[in-house]
Structure 1
Amino acid sequence: MRIGLLGTGPWARAAYAPALAGHTGVEFAGVWGRRPEAADELAKEYGVTAYADVDALLADVDAVAVALPPAVQGELAVRAARAGRHLLLDKPLALTVTEGRAVAKAVAAAGVASVVFFTARFQREPAAWIEEQAAVPGWFTARAQWLGAVFTTDSPFAASPWRREKGALWDVGPHALSVLLPVLGDARRVAAAARGPADTVHLVLEHAGGASSALTLSLTAPAAAAGAEVELRGEAGVSVLPGSSEGAVPALARAVDALTAAARSGRPHPCDAAFGLRVTEILSAAEDLLVPQPVRAAQ
């Protein structure tokens, strides 16, 4: 599989480019970016072609990996799918249900494979834990805390416009949902949503399996308090999401493996565009609950 990279920002440089370049099962074919000079620089670093035109890249590859802001990802994912290219996408799939639905529809219509990269779903220990807990009956409730320090440290993602606008709900919310949904079942309803300090949000979900979950999401946690925790409680007792011994690059390599397997077999991956759309729908419902209600004039 020849695969091209769309994007040249910090995430593309730190994770996507090294994962593609180091993967022995695919050919890293080239780079396109919204800033041609950045595409030239990244392509030169890895000895691949820099494309000034995205359609020229699509014509030369079998698949694309997208490391772009979600508002940009949607349009390009639709274009790539219509060109018959398989898709390795990043979370969130989109920032609106309309955009997410367009991607999922284009993928289905074209019959191409898609994988959305939710990190924990492709890291060895967390992925194994999720699979194990999904087979355990009788979960009663879950607690998830996904606390980042993006805005309180010198993180390279702190200046990201979409993260500044949309906050933790849309950045780390997808990670938490990607762990909870396969274990507890789909979220039938966002029962409650409330704001905390800065971009922090608290959600309560009702799941199809009968359990409930409580989520706390933030990108403004103190550095000493940052981290991700998921705890399940039910008939089997208590189970806690294990940490991972590896970073994003090995996990992305497994996501590439998943994409090639889905393309070869024609069987959808659990983290495909349709799942990405469902996550977008849940986040959008939560966002609607967080919108301040208009003040009513006294009667």
Structure 2
Amino acid sequence: MTKTQRVAFIGLSHYHATDWVAAVAAHPHAELVGVWDRDAVLRARFAAGAGTTAWDSREALLADADVVAIASVTSDHRDDAVAAAEAGCHLLLEKPPTADLASFAAVRQAVEASGVVFAQNLPKRLDPASLAVRRLVAAGELGPIASVRIRHGHSQAWDDGFRSSWFTDPVAAGAGALLDEGIHTLDFCRWLLGEPDAITAHVSSATGLAVEDTAVITVQYRRGPVVSITTSWSMAGASGSIEVHGRDATVDLGGVDMASRGLSGESLLRRVVRRSADAAAAREWEDLGIVPVFSSGGFHGLGITDLLDALADGRDPAAGLDDAEAALRLVEAAYESARTGRTTWLS
């Protein structure tokens, strides 16, 4: 008989925690036993909305839980994750894992010492549309890949509520859009194509924030494609989110970020086959018939669902310790490039 996991939320500052409530409620092998946050007002309000208990003590809640989902401000991730692991709780950690690799080393040490299951919340890996793109590339259906374009963002840098939130605080958040949103794109790049060889990046803050609101990144593979990434908090709208260009075909995916959601049309995952320059037949997009969960709903609950499924099935979650550390290493490489004005070589 599959065990019912007692789930606790530690840290409630990230709005994704709201989506986790519905995901836990819908899971056949989980129950939400309570929430805790350093802010007593926030934890009481959140608990009331979630129909659960607000705990005054983090340690007491950890002692009563099997699984912990952490959505605190980034500067508290290390402390909360280490506490959860030392309490023997499996854990889901909101992205970014920590603000830097040095902080993440403490998380890794605690997780490995305790033997708990660690899941990094990188839900792009779990969206059926993303999985379909990865299958096409892995199966060679696009031919050798020449270039990839990834664009991921939203427009909240223009909103007063976001501008005054912890997301734009260099201490609480650790950094800006490159760390917050860019980690999605860099992890997707590595997940799709493998370990890159070099990264070149530029950042800016045209919106006047204390952290960067936009990053443009080039990811290089010595024996493969060049990847162009733009991630930003200042995109009012966009069409496609991901393009993968191969010798035989191109695949285009929209509706998988806030800027393109609702603006990409009905065909959210489509492919066009390359024809030679003298071919008479007209080119047409082929609708691959997959609507991203990001557009249909429930995307931000995929991470906690995957961890609970992994525990029930005895498998690894979609993104674990190595993936979290690797994604953070790519982010740090991008910041190094932006700071020095030079390409950061990884191999």
Q: TM-score range by the shorter chain?
A: 0.7 to 0.9
1:216 counterpart letter in structure 2:
T
Match of 1:240 in 2: 252
In the alignment, which residue of structure 2 is the partner of 1:289? 337
Task: State the partner residue of 1:85.
Answer: 89
Distance in 1 between residues matched to 2:201 and 2:297, nearest whole Å? 33
- Residues 74 and 220 of structure 1: is their aligned pair in 2 closer, same or farther, counting only changes over 3 Å? same
Query: Is residue 168 of structure 2 the alignment partner of residue 163 of structure 1?
Result: yes
In the TM superposition, residue 268 of structure 1 has moved relative to its aligned partner by 2.6
Is 1:152 the counterpart of 2:158? The answer is yes
Q: CA deviation at 1:273?
A: 2.5
TM-superposed CA distance for 1:278, in Å, is: 0.7
* Partner AA of 1:169 in structure 2: L
For 1:259, which of 307, 317, 338 is the aligned residue? Answer: 307
2:191 aligns with 182
Q: Which residue in the other structure is 1:278 paired with?
A: 326
1:144 shift after superposition: 1.2
**1:218 pairs with 2:232:** yes
How much has 1:143 moved relative to structure 2?
1.2
Provide the residue aligned with 1:142 in structure 2.
148
Q: Which moved more, 1:274-283 or 1:201-210?
A: 201-210
Q: Using the alignment, how far apart are the partners of 2:233 and 2:169 within structure 1?
A: 9
Offset of 1:7 from its aligned partner? 2.3
In the other structure, the counterpart of 1:231 is: 243
Post-superposition Cα deviations, 1:4-36, rounded to whole Å, max 9, x if no partner, equal 011233505532233323433310110001111
Q: Which has the larger radius of gyration?
A: 2
2:322 maps to a residue whose letter is: A
Aligned partners of 1:147, 1:37: CA distance in 2, in Å? 30
Q: Structure 1 residue 38: deviation in Å?
A: 1.9
**In terms of mean alpha carbon deviation, does 122-131 or 22-31 score higher?**
122-131
Distance across 2 between alignment mates of 1:124 and 1:226: 21
Shift of 1:257: 3.1
Q: Which amino acid is 1:160 matched to?
A: S
Q: Is the 8 A contact 1:16 1:249 kept in 2?
A: no
Q: Give SS of 2:7's match.
A: strand
- Residue 226 of structure 1: how far off its partner (Å): 4.8
Aligned-pair CA distance for 1:245: 4.8
Pair 1:148–1:246, CA change in 2 (3 A): closer
Compared CA separation, residues 163 and 157, structure 1 to 2 (3 A) = same
Residue 202 of structure 1 deviates from its aligned partner by: 1.3
Aligned counterparts of 1:240 and 1:21: Cα–Cα separation in 2: 34
Task: Please tell me the root mean square deviation across aligned C-alpha atoms, in Å.
Answer: 2.5
State the Cα deviation string for residues 39-64 of structure 1 (Å, max 9, x = none).
12222333322111111111000010
Partner of 2:289: none
Return the match for 1:201 from 199, 215, 222: 215
TM-score (ref. length: structure 1): 0.86
**Per-residue deviation, 1:2:** 0.6
Q: Contact 2:24 / 2:305 at 8 angstroms: preserved in 1?
A: no
Structure 2 counterpart SS, 1:145: strand
CA distance 1:217–1:246, change in 2 (3 Å): closer
Greater mean alpha carbon deviation, residues 60-69 or residues 260-269: 260-269
1:29-48 to 2 correspondences below 5 Å? 29-48=33-52
Indicate how the Cα distance of structure 1 residues 135 and 78 shifts in structure 2: closer, same or farther if over 3 A, else same. farther
Q: Who is 1:297 aligned against?
A: none
Equivalenced residue count is 289
Letter paired with 1:138: P
Q: Secondary structure at the match of 1:92?
A: coil
TM-score (normalizing by structure 2): 0.75
Range that drifts further, 241-250 or 6-15: 241-250
CA distance in 2, matches of 1:248, 1:15: 14
Moved more, 116-125 or 168-177: 116-125
SS in 2 for 1:230: strand
- How many percent identity over aligned positions? 27
Moved over 6 A (4+): none
Residue 167 (structure 1) shift: 1.7
Structure 1 match to 2:274: none
Q: Give 5+ residue unaligned stretches, structure 2.
A: 207-212, 256-291, 342-347
- AA aligned opposite 2:189: L
CA contact (8 A) 1:185 1:207 kept: no
Q: Distance between the aligned counterparts of 2:297 and 2:37, measured in 1?
A: 20
